[in-house]
Amino acid sequence: MSMYSLAAIAGLAIFAGSVSAADSPGLGSSLSQDELAAIDFVVLPNGDGLPDGGGTAATGAIVYQQNCLACHGEKGTGGANDTLAGGQGSLAGESPLKTIGSFWPYATTVFDYVRRAMPIQSPGVLSNDELYAVTAYLLYINEVIGENDEINAETLPGVRMPNRDNFVWDYSQAE
């Protein structure tokens, strides 16, 4: 190795050690608040993270018809994709049918899941009001809430799912 390349490596090491944000190589770019909000969102079972807005099953029925019915069928049954309603009490029987109403332990997860994943070909297109409304509709067709019950960040965490108590915490609290 020549003296020249040794000096070059030493110079590089000194340079690398003194890099700060100001004189970084300029790779990538900072996210705006809007861009961050679009990917950094999660709703916890207790409702933490739920946004402003609200809706009822009555308005959610329209959101459902326009965005979901083609794949999930009339009132969540008989579609080409997952059945979203019915099956309550079937899980321990001969033909278990897992749906929101028969299986899901938390109502808040319906909002979180639909917001991040549905409609499957274009998640993210629904407004928060539309998401609350279609969540209300899914709970309504599962007979968990009434047609005109307002669903929002305050009320959704209080909706108790029929299968809630069949989920058990498998770890001792003392450990």
Q: How far is the CB of 142 from ligand HEC (least distance, A)?
A: 11
Nearer to ligand HEC, 72 or 75 (CB): 72
Cβ proximity to ligand HEC, 18 vs 121, nearer residue: 121
Residues that bind ligand HEC (CB under 6 A): 67-68, 70-72, 81-82, 84, 98-100, 113-114, 118-121, 134
Question: CB-wise, 12 or 44, nearer to ligand HEC?
Answer: 44
Buried b (16+ CB within 10 A) or exposed e, 119-157: beeeeeebebbbbbbbbbbbbbbbebbeeeeebbbebbb
* Cβ atoms of residues 146 and 131 within 8 Å: no
- Reference 142, options 161, 115, 127, 170; nearest CA is 161
H helices of the chain, where?
Answer: 3-17, 33-39, 57-67, 69-72, 108-117, 128-141
Looking at beta carbons only, is 7 or 70 nearer to ligand HEC? 70
The nearest distance, CB 66 to ligand HEC, in angstroms, is 8
Q: Which is nearer to ligand HEC, 11 or 123 (CB)?
A: 123
Q: How far is the CB of 148 from ligand HEC (least distance, A)?
A: 19
Q: How far is the CB of 99 from ligand HEC (least distance, A)?
A: 6
For 83, the 3-state DSSP assignment is coil
DSSP state for residue 97 in the 8-state scheme? -
Shortest Å distance, C-beta 113 to ligand HEC: 6
